[in-house]
Structure formats: structure tokens, C-alpha cells
Amino acid sequence: MVTKVTSGMTDGVVVSTEKAAADPSTKPGSGSANKVAILNSDGNLDDHYLPTYVSQWRLTVDFAIGTSEAVVANTWEEADTSVQGTGVGTNLTQSSGTFTFPATGKWLVEFHGRVTKNSGDVAVIAADLFATTGSGGSTEVRIAQSWGSVGTAGTNDTLCMSSMIDVTNVSDNKIKVKLSAGNSGADLKGNSTFNLTYLTFTRLGAT
């Protein structure tokens, strides 16, 4: 059970200099260290004290899977269908298939991809989730992988993978998805009105 303590209830117990703001205009920094957090005017702990980041990005156009490993750099968009809404918190950014996190922390990254046969049987399709390290993300590290296939018996398949990533520096730690196949003949499917191939990013806590 949660007991809510209002600012007034701390009067005489906690001096004003030991109280953090009820409605901070920015995320608390070192200036709020060792201070007592107080509830806002709605009787809730302000979101600034418990920053939550959740965002889904979907592929909007098909991506032809080739024999060489390639970044899925086709058009991505944040899921924005009216009933879905957009993400919570400061959004990620994306450039040429590389995603940059808005804040450091322990993040869960989940990928769901739909692959479809377009011209021939493809026995091996590999999806890889890469994280980057080093100055500006100069080094790639494979952190998850999924396999699938398409053919006459099954013209569609689903590739799913996920991994935690410890983002200690938003300039260095980024995410990208790469695909490859034993031969051409399959597409990673995209759609701009509902999630078909998509990534989900959830910040779980501080690094």
C-alpha cells in the first residue's frame, strides 16, 4: 500500500531547503540530491522524478533482403495511429536506420519483423540487432539474432528478438537492425498504418 505525503504534512518535520520542487520544470539534477520529493497538485509524484521512456517505431515500406548483411535503413516512423498515440517521454531519434537514445539508462529493445516471399524460396533469413560502442558509435556489437525462412509451404514468417542495453553515453550507444539471407527472394514488410515490422524501446532504470 502506498501512503501519499503532501508537502504540508512535512511542515515542521522537513525544512523547506530539504524539499525538492513539486513540479520541476526540468528533470531533477544534482541540486535535488538528498532532498525529499513532494507530491504535485494532483497528489502524484511528478513524472520528472520517475522518468519513463517508451516508444515504438515501425517500418513503413518494404525492405528487400539481400545476401549481404545490410542495415534496415528504409523509412521508419514512430507509431502514430490515433488509437496508439505516440511514445511516453522524450523521443528517440533515427537516421538511416540507426536509433539514438534520448537518455542514459538500462533499456530493453524488442524487434518484431514480418518477412514475406516475393519471388522464390529463401531457406535462411537472419535478423541481427546491433549496439554500438566507442567514440560516436564507431564499433558494432551483435547483441541478438533471429532466424527464419519462406517458401512454398510457408510464404510468411516472423522474426523476433530482444536485448537489454546499458546506455552509458547517448552519443556512443546506439541501436540498428541488419538483415541478410542465403539468397534473394524475400522482403521485410512495412506498413504506415499499423505495426507490421517494428521496434519497441523501454527505459527500465538508471545505468
The 3-state DSSP class for residue 151 equals coil
Q: Look at residues 184, 147, 189 and name the one whose alpha carbon lies nearest to residue 61.
A: 189
Residue 130 burial by Cβ neighbours in a 10 Å radius (0-12, 13-18, 19+): buried
End-to-end Cα separation, the chain, in angstroms: 28
What are the tens digits of pLDDT across the range 51-85?
579 999 999 999 999 999 999 997 999 998 888 77
What are the tens digits of pLDDT across the range 7-58?
566 666 677 776 666 665 555 556 666 667 767 777 776 666 665 799 999 9
What are the tens digits of pLDDT across the range 181-202?
999 999 999 999 999 999 999 9
What is the residue whose three cell numbers read 541478410? 180
Contact (Cβ atoms closer than 8 angstroms) between residue 105 and residue 144 = no
Q: What is the mean pLDDT of residues 122-149?
A: 97
Furthest-apart CA atoms within the chain: distance in Å: 76
